[in-house]
Amino acid sequence: MKIPPVKGTRDFYPQEMAVRNFIMEGWKAASIRNGFEEYDGPIFEHLKMYQIKSGQEIVEQLFHLTDRGGRELAIRPEITPTLARMVNQQINALPRPIKWFSIPRLCRAERPQKGRLREFFQWNVDIIDVDDPRADAEVIFTSIDFLRSTGLTTADIQAKISSRRLLAALLRSIGIDENKLESLYALLDKKAKLPCEAFEEMLAKEIPVKDQAERIRDLMEVTTIEDIPRIVHMNEAATAALDELKNVFSLLDLMGISDYCHFDMGIVRGLAYYTGMVFEVHATSGKLRAICGGGRFDNLLKDFGGPSIAATGMGMGDCVLEILLREKGLLTDSLATRMLDYYICCLDDELMSRAIVLTATLRQRGYVVDCVYKISSLGKQLKLASSTNARQSIILGQELIRDNQLVLKDMQSGNQRSIQYDHFLSDLSS
């Protein structure tokens, strides 16, 4: 009986693994380039850790279990709570500011669909203990820095940026009750995904006062920061939040990525813990889910029993990213699954011991080497060498060994030359 993979998961054969490595190596390079350190945590945590952050409803969205000790655990659906726990554990010992990144494997008990699987990888970057818009801008820059490195341009992607702090101040200024803010955030976050009529109906139910609903509708249609004061009275809190957001955009301009960045009041981010700048990067086609998203979450460490410390960060999943890169022709299945320095061809069973010794010697010296397992014609062995993307083939034959020689064949040019066995090894050492 053939057993298929679990729905919503993926098998990574060598070719798929090459794609996964291409993405992850790009993530890691961008993180290091921008000054972040790598961390990781356990693949499962106490269930209550996710309930603290997202409430009881999160239980239905993750894989949870009870261990032999009766403890309720969950396979991690995200790594931000782990980050908060780890930082809180050593809060007085860690050097500040904290700039960490991670590339965890995550699981969510969701219905699989395009760009969303039950098991996936996500790149996270976070900056902790920097209460300054520069940290927000740096998180956005790091995201765009990686995406640009893949070949994506302003014609392909845009970062849509807003502020939860600004939105909260504006909603309060038009009289929205404090108790309604969280449910309203969730509705506004869904606006782009809902038919216009459905959104209007849900908004009217949530905000029955017509004047307030109209103001909210107008706010959601704003396209520039400058238009906001014309729609809503700017109290002190709203003015401060607006100035903070303007500062973020000024920094992004200094960083040279303003062409990628746009203000969009509709970016709300459904999670309750965001406290300031929020952003998402979308494909300009509008056909895909957000490529990444994040923002400022200054209360998260406090919610997990730690001190009140500023924090900002983002997460980028591999599923939507891979779809976009393939659509743009920037990622194909032609990625090499391995690249050898040498492939050793052996033309005689009596020489196999010599081939094994040479293989081991070259590997010990740091070269990437493979060797034929079964004697066959030279043509077949060279075909195997070509399939491994070997730079050079080393050919061992009886008539050559009698003169203590081997043949080096350049697999790209086809040129080949004979060289003394000992000279070949000594040349490698020089």
The tens digit of pLDDT for each residue in 80-127 reads 999 999 999 999 999 999 999 999 999 999 898 888 999 999 999 999
* pTM for this entry: 0.91
Are 185 and 163 spatial neighbours (Cβ–Cβ below 8 Å)? Answer: no
Closest CA to 146 of 314, 288, 11: 314
Q: For 172-220, how does the pLDDT look when each residue is reduced to its tens digit (9 = 90+)? A: 888 888 888 888 888 888 888 788 888 888 888 888 888 888 888 888 8
CATH of region 14-41+79-327: 3.30.930.10
Closest CA to 373 of 360, 386, 355: 355
Q: Which residue has the higher pLDDT, 271 or 131?
A: 131
At 385, phi and psi to the nearest 5? -60, -40
160 vs 289: CA distance, rounded Å: 13
- 270 pLDDT more than 70: no
The pLDDT, as a whole number, for residue 61 is: 87
Q: How confident is the model at residue 338 (pLDDT cuts 50, 70, 90)?
A: very high
Lowest-confidence pick of 50-59, 146-155, 379-388, 399-408: 50-59
Terminal alpha carbon distance of the chain: 56
Average pLDDT over the chain, rounded to whole? 92
- 231 pLDDT more than 90: no
228 vs 401: CA distance, rounded Å: 82
Q: How confident is the model at residue 55 (pLDDT cuts 50, 70, 90)?
A: low
Q: For 344-368, how does the pLDDT look when each residue is reduced to its tens digit (9 = 90+)? A: 999 999 999 999 999 999 999 999 9
As annotated, the residues of the chain forming the CATH 3.40.50.800 domain(s) are 342-429
CA 329 to chain centre: 19
Pick the CATH number of 342-429 from 3.90.1200.10, 3.40.50.800, 3.40.50.300, 3.90.1150.10: 3.40.50.800
The pLDDT, as a whole number, for residue 182 is: 80
Buried b (16+ CB within 10 A) or exposed e, 89-119: eebeeeeebbbbbbbbebbbeeeeeebebbb
Q: For 317-332, how does the pLDDT look when each residue is reduced to its tens digit (9 = 90+)? A: 999 999 999 999 999 8
As annotated, the residues of the chain forming the CATH 3.30.930.10 domain(s) are 14-41+79-327
182 vs 301: CA distance, rounded Å: 20
